[in-house]
Amino acid sequence: MRRSTPWMTAALLVALASLAGAQEWDEFVFVEDGFKVNFPGVPKVDTTTWMSRFGYTLPARLYTASRGQERYSVTVVDYRGIERQGLERQKQCPPGAEPCIGTQDGRGGSILGAGYWKMDVRGALAFATLKLLQRDVKVTDYDLEFQDVVEGYMLHLTNRDESRTLAYITMHENRLYVFEGTVPKGYPEPALFQSSVGFVDAKGNGIRYLDYYSNAVHGLRQHEPPPYRAGGVLVGGQGTPAQPAR
């Protein structure tokens, strides 16, 4: 039976990891990291860091679970503090150094941002994809997709041992998500895992946009995000005003 557990936090999941002997698929909601997904049992959660394209060290969490020879993981990288790091880097630059002042005026400020932090956010999906492609893999499919109308990249990879990985890379409100399901040769694709990907608000309600969401545009607030429904309530548009990314 599929159970929704919006009250679970990463810390609680770590405490319950010893109880994860059963291999039944459940929906887990991670409010702290703003997403939900199906796992075959309670995932292990590790705190780590992620080095961004322009050399910023960002906080990250890694969620992992297995089912026999199948492996599932979600890497969540928090880009929300990168502007502050860019401004700190700017202070250390020689006067007039182009990487730290940015160039080309855009709407209300630099397109690049101090220390290229804006370009780092815009290019996060491409950089995460590059990291996957640098493995010893063969790409069998690569396409632009969306989950709950949030833009992302879907990749089908064949690994050196002939296992197959279905990866979905997406970004929402300046958090990067890398979902990976890997199965042995001859197994069905891990579609149950990937098709269950979704995003949640601060109360754990699932979010579904009414129009296309792109973090490179909406996460950086070049334009306000499209309206969405969460918990049966319309947010944004003619409903409650959408809240800014934090």
Q: Higher pLDDT residue, 18 or 223?
A: 223
**pLDDT of 179 strictly over 70:** yes
> Number of C-alpha atoms within 13 angstroms, CB side, residue 38?
17
User: Which pTM does this prediction carry?
Assistant: 0.84
- From CA 160, how far away is CA 125, in angstroms rounded? 24
Q: Is the pLDDT of residue 245 over 50?
A: no
Q: What domains are defined for the chain?
A: 4-81+117-235 (3.40.1000.10)
Q: Check pLDDT > 70 for residue 241.
A: no
114-150 confidence digits (pLDDT tens): 788 999 999 999 999 999 999 999 999 999 999 999 9
pLDDT at res. 13? 42
For the cut 90, the answer to whether the pLDDT of residue 4 exceeds it is: no
**DSSP strands (E only) in the chain:** 4-5, 26-30, 35-39, 44-51, 57-67, 70-78, 105-106, 109-110, 137-147, 150-159, 164-172, 175-183, 198-200, 206-209, 228-230, 233-235
Note the pLDDT of residue 108. 52
User: What share of the chain in percent tops pLDDT 90?
Assistant: 70
pLDDT value at residue 102: 58
The pLDDT tens digits for 83-121 are 999 888 888 877 767 666 655 444 455 567 778 899 999
